[in-house]
Amino acid sequence: MSRKYFGTDGVRGKVGEHPITPQFVMHLGYAAGKVLASAEHAQGERPGVLIGKDTRISGYMLESALEAGFIAAGIDVYLAGPIPTPAVAYLTRALRLQAGVVISASHNPFEDNGIKFFSGSGAKLPDNVELAIEAALDEPMQTNPSASLGKAKRIDDAAGRYIEFCKSTFPNEMNLRGLKIVVDSAHGAAYHIARHVFHELGAEVVAIGAEPDGLNINAGYGATKPQNLQKAVVEHKADIGIALDGDGDRLIMVDADGTLYDGDQSLYIIARQRHAEGALKGGVVGTLMTNLAFEHAMQHLGIPFVRAKVGDRYVMELLQQHDWQLGGENSGHIICLDKHSTGDGIISALQVLHALRMKRQTLAQAAGDLHMYPQILINVRVSKKADYVNHPAVKHALDTAEVMLDGKGRVLLRPSGTEPLLRVMVEGEDGAKVKLCAEKIAEAVRAAAA
C-alpha cells in the first residue's frame, strides 16, 4: 500500500495548503485516534495522547484541530505546550500514553508545519500503524457519543520533567563548572529548556535565539544558521557554542575560536570516548552523506561502521537491525539509544561534553585528529526522473572521477526526495581534485537532463 500523506518524517507542508489545514489535521487526529483506540493498540484501555509543538504561530491552530479530532474519537489529550520533539517522545513513554504527537516542521521556516507521531515506547510509529491511519483517513468522521468523548488536560510541568530527564543522562559525579557555553535555541521549542539544562549542571550560560515570537523560528539562528552563534562565542569569550534546530533534535557545535563542528565530528567524539571506556555496544551507523574521513577513523579504531540512507528514520532502522546504540547524520541528528529512544540535540551535546570532561580537552582538541575530507555538493536541476548513473556521458564522468580520486575519495549521486534535483556529492583527500570531479559530473548530468 503506497503512502498518500506520511513521508519519512510525518505529514508536512505549507500552512494553509493541503494537508496542513485545520480541516485535514482535525481529521488526522480523529483517524489516528480511531486506530489507537482499537483493541489491537489500546488493549482495552482508554487511550491517551500527548501533544507538543514548537513555537510557530500556526501551532495554536493545528493544536486545537488535533485536540478536537482526538477528543471526537474518544481519546484523552494531554497538552504539553511548546517543547522539543524528543521531549514528546520521553513524556509519552514516562506518562504511559498510547502515542505522542509533535506539531513541527523542524528546521524549516515558520510558514511550514507538520505532524509527527511517536508510539507509546517513544519511537516513531511503525509503518503498519501509519498505513492504518492513512486507511482511516478515507473514512468520514463520526463523532463519538457525548458520554464517550475524550477529555483534555494541560501538563504544567512538562518542561521541568524533560529538563530533569536530560540532566539524568550526564554522569552524577560530573559537572560543567568552569565552562562558559553559548546556547542557541533557534527561537524554537527548546528556548525555555536548553539553557536551564546546562546551567543546572554548573555551566555559565549565554542564551541566544531564545525569544520566539511565532514568526522567527530558525530565522538567522539555530543549527542551520550558526553564524550568530559563532559570533556570540567569540564576543563572549565562551568555551563552546551549542546550536539546536527549531524542534530541538539536531546539534551543531562551535569551539572557542568560532569554528563549526558538524554531526560527524560530534558523533566521532562520542564514539571514540565510548570505545575507550568499553561502553560502545557494537558499531556506529552513519548515512550516505557521512564524511569518508569518519569511516576511515572508525576503521582505524576498529569500530564497525555501516551507512544508512539519508534520514534519522533509516539510521534508527539499521541500529535496531544490528542491535547497536549509536548513530547519526552530518546534519546533526545523533541517536544514543542507551540514553533516549530518539535523536536529541541537548542529550547529544551532553554526551560530547562528557567526553571532553573525561579527556580534559577542548572541542578543538577532541576533534583535532579527525581530519575531515573536502566535500563538494552540487544540486543539479533535472526535469524528469531518469537513470543518470548509466547515461554514457555521466558514466564517463564518474569513471574519470574514480581514476582521479584513486581510492582516496567517494562519489555519490542522490535524487532529492522533495525537489526535482539530483545531488552530486564528491569528497576526498585532495580538495582540488574533488572540486574538479564534482563540476565535471554536474556538467555531464546537466547535459544528460537537457
- How confident is the chain (450 residues) per 10-residue block, as mean pLDDT? 79 96 98 82 76 98 98 97 98 96 96 96 89 94 95 97 98 97 98 98 98 98 98 98 98 98 98 97 96 96 96 94 98 97 98 98 97 95 85 95 94 83 95 96 93
CA 428 to chain centre: 26
Q: What is the pLDDT of residue 200?
A: 98
Query: Are 220 and 278 spatial neighbours (Cβ–Cβ below 8 Å)?
Result: no
What ranges do the domains of the chain cover? 11-156, 161-170+177-258, 263-344+354-367, 375-449
The CATH code for residues 375-449 is 3.30.310.50
Q: What is the pLDDT of residue 113?
A: 97
- Here the cell at position 66 is 488535533
Residues 6+ apart with CB under 8 A from 408: 428, 429, 430
Nearest to 229 by CA among 363, 369, 322, 96: 363
Characterize 18-33 residue by residue with b for buried, 16 or more Cβ atoms within 10 angstroms of its Cβ, and e for exposed: ebbbbebbbbbbbbbb
Q: What is the pLDDT of residue 387?
A: 85
Q: Which amino acid is at 269?
A: I
- Here the cell at position 291 is 564524511
Q: What is the pLDDT of residue 4?
A: 86
Nearest to 92 by CA among 135, 48, 62, 55: 48
CA dihedral of residues 364, 370, 375, 377 (deg, nearest 10): -70
Question: Around Cβ 11, how many Cβ atoms within 10 Å?
Answer: 22
Q: What is the pTM of this model?
A: 0.94
Which class for 352: exposed (0-12), middle (13-18), buried (19 or more C-beta within 10 A)?
buried
Nearest to 129 by CA among 35, 222, 203: 35
Question: Around Cβ 179, how many Cβ atoms within 10 Å?
Answer: 18
Question: Around Cβ 143, how many Cβ atoms within 10 Å?
Answer: 14
Query: Are 185 and 191 spatial neighbours (Cβ–Cβ below 8 Å)?
Result: yes
Q: What is the pLDDT of residue 8?
A: 76
Which class for 54: exposed (0-12), middle (13-18), buried (19 or more C-beta within 10 A)?
buried
Residue bearing cell 514548537:
54
Point out which residues pair with 447 in neighbouring strands.
none
CA 74 to chain centre: 31
Tell me the C-alpha to C-alpha distance, in Å, between residue 315 and each of 154, 277, 286, 303.
33, 24, 7, 17
DSSP SS3 for 391: coil
Q: What is the pLDDT of residue 330?
A: 95
DSSP SS3 for 424: strand
Residue bearing cell 563552546:
240
Class of CATH domain 11-156? alpha beta
Catalytic-labelled residue, pool 38, 58, 104, 106: 106
Do 11-156 and 161-170+177-258 show the same overall fold? Answer: yes
Q: How far apart are CA 171 and CA 356, in angstroms?
A: 13
DSSP state of 383: S
Tell me the C-alpha to C-alpha distance, in Å, between residue 159 and each of 48, 98, 364.
19, 20, 32
CA-based max dimension of the chain: 72
Nearest to 334 by CA among 277, 251, 269, 255: 251
Q: Which amino acid is at 155?
A: I
Q: How far apart are CA 95 and CA 122, in angstroms?
A: 11
Q: Which amino acid is at 282?
A: G
106 noted as active-site residue:
yes
Class of CATH domain 263-344+354-367? alpha beta
Domain covering 161-170+177-258, topology: Alpha-D-Glucose-1,6-Bisphosphate; Chain A, domain 3 (3.40.120)
Nearest to 424 by CA among 408, 406, 448: 448
Sign of the C-alpha dihedral, residues 19, 20, 24, 29? positive
